[in-house]
Chains A and B, each alone.
Chain A
Amino acid sequence: MTDPRDTVLTHALQAEGTFDPGRAPAGIKRIPSGVDGLATEHLVVNIGPQHPSTHGVLRLVAELDGEEVMNVEVAVGYLHRGIEKLGEHRRYHQLGTLMDRGDYVSGIHGELAAALAAEQLLEVEVPPRGQWLRSLMSEVNRIASHLVWFGTFGLDCGAMGQFLYAMREREALLDVLESVTGQRMMFNYVRPGGVLDDITPDAEQKLRTFLRTIDSYLDEHHALLGGNEIFQKRVRGVGVIDRETGLAFGLTGANLRGSGVPYDVRRDKPYAAYTELDFDVPLGATGDAWDRYLVRMEEMRQAARMCRQCIEGLPEGDVMAKVPRVLRPPAGETYACVESPRGELGVHLVADGSDTPYRFHYRAPSLFAMQVLEEILPGHLLADAIMLIGSVDIVLGEIDR
């Protein structure tokens, strides 16, 4: 079998040499505007920053022809609070606190990226139990994060019920995370050198109970939302992001895998204990909203599978390597990335030998997922535009940083 990555991809835009954000994707028929004798004009509609469906404080300025979106501009910055700037004034241990509040739906991944970057500079080896706990908590957090996406994606499509079910499942996971880390959202659990604390018997018990039921629950949820004809008609074939567009716009994670590019940081640049875990990387075929939905649903099952392996295979030993109280990495530059539920979450650190980073940069997967919206939304109906914002799963905290 040939690896699809063997083909060198060139972007369609480059071939054409022009960039027209208003062009309609293939397969969408433009409705001619104006009935005989009546003059119509394009309407500019402002959506957000206060809007129940924009997933936070995203603002879209959409130019409409009737119900069809002609052109769209995203306006962000309503949550810009200086994570990168403040990172230059925090010690390496404290970066996790900032990263938690970047992608606030999946805090563990942000912390992990910051810790990995600091460890690469310090050349610290994390003990095996710490590595496995990192993987375990990452996957628990991944399911929790995808459940938020699942609930809100349904809301965007007009379905309310599964939001409540998704939140019910999520609470069980937050109990596990709370029991281990002490917090429901801002964990500050992964530190340079390992993890803060060992898993508690209570958390293990709760997680085992959850893992016994999650697969059947996911089947139910999928039947409830994905088995709905109205939902399928709304998402199938809508919002197609082809491989070239996905790569050109820097998409990563489930959005890129939905377009059929088999890139997963956990498999291709393994960190934590992922080399020892057995998991599949689900792939989409066409890159429409339905593919992205299926990829994320399957990722939840794979995450549950990895959680089971982690609980069973958790090695004995310390959870934290011996690291000094104040970290002073030697001068240098590094990039560390993890597979967050939204894609490749990277931390670019420049150290100058002091106890604070010289430059701390956060590669936010949502930022790249959002800029593809300007490309794919034109040609769709306004109601589909709302659904497509949900389908790329963005978190505004990490877009604005």
Chain B
Amino acid sequence: MALDRITGEHSVAFIRSEQLFDWARRNSLWYLAFGIACCAIEGLMSASGPRFDFDRMGVFFRASPRQADVMIVAGTVNKKMAETVRLLYDQMPEPKWVVAMGACASTGGPFREYPNVVLGVDKVVPVDVYIPGCPPRPESVQYGFIQLQEKIKRQTEERRAARHDRR
């Protein structure tokens, strides 16, 4: 088992179940294969290609929102698309995270002046990580996912601390 590598062989680990679950979750962030625009080529295709190999971080694509943990919003969201983005987000099971990849998904990017474009996907769904760039390099996307892993880790600790304070 992979835990052996951290704790030593035949060891017994005492861990809170929520910490165990969150540890597992942050190391298998499966994203929804949902490329909207240009960023999809970099963030979904090149990143999962042989050079950048997203798979080694436990990040892999799923075609169905029902099986996905993370939604990478890779591209410009316009008014027609916004409904679909929201629908897909609602279809994803909890816990779920959203990564806004690139300038368009973060603020509207080069198309922000066009009235049909939504000024950032955070108007539609809550966003956890914003990745700057037009388009961001695959390395940036990987760094964004490392930040997301950190965030999940921190959330566990914060939740515990909050409970501790209540007691």
Contact = CB atoms under 8 A, between A and B. Distances in A.
Interface of A: 49-52, 56-57, 77-83, 85-86, 89, 97-98, 101, 104-105, 148, 151, 163-165, 167-168, 170-171, 174, 184-186, 396-397
Interface string B82-123: 001000100000000000000010000011011111000000
A164 B51 CA distance: 9
A52 B42 contact: no
Contacts, number: 101
Contacts of A57: 36-37, 81
B89 to A, nearest CB: 11
Contacts of A168: 49-51
B84 A50 contact: yes
Which residue of B81, B104, B137 has the most chain A CB atoms within 10 A of its CB atom? Answer: B81
B81 A78 contact: yes
A157 B90 CA distance: 30
A78 B80 contact: yes
B93 to A, nearest CB: 16
A50 B115 CA distance: 23
Nearest to A107: B38
Nearest to B61: A52
Contact of A79 (B36, B61, B113): B36
A85 B36 contact: no
Contacts of A86: 110-111, 113-114
Contacts of A167: 45-46, 49-51
Contacts of A49: 81, 84
Given A78-B81, A86-B110, 16 more contacts: A78-B36, A79-B76, A81-B37, A82-B111, A82-B113, A82-B115, A83-B111, A98-B110, A101-B37, A165-B50, A167-B49, A168-B49, A170-B46, A186-B38, A186-B134, A397-B38
17 contacts: A56-B40, A78-B78, A79-B75, A79-B78, A79-B81, A80-B78, A81-B104, A82-B111, A82-B114, A85-B114, A104-B41, A170-B46, A171-B50, A184-B42, A185-B38, A185-B42, A186-B135
Which residue of A50, A82, A170 has the most chain B CB atoms within 10 A of its CB atom? Answer: A50
Contact-size category for B: 35 or more
Contacts of B110: 86, 97-98, 101
Contacts of A101: 37-38, 110-111
A230 B160 CA distance: 55
B33 interface: yes
Contact of B111 (A51, A81, A170, A174): A81
A82 B35 CA distance: 19
A89 B113 contact: yes
Contacts of B45: 148, 151, 167
A56 B76 CA distance: 12
A91 to B, nearest CB: 14
Contacts of B80: 77-78, 80
B46 A171 contact: yes
B63 interface: yes
Q: Please provide the 3 A-B residue pairs with the shortest distance between their CB atoms, ordered closest to farther.
A: A82-B114, A167-B49, A104-B38
B65 A82 contact: no
B105 to A, nearest CB: 12
A332 B45 CA distance: 42
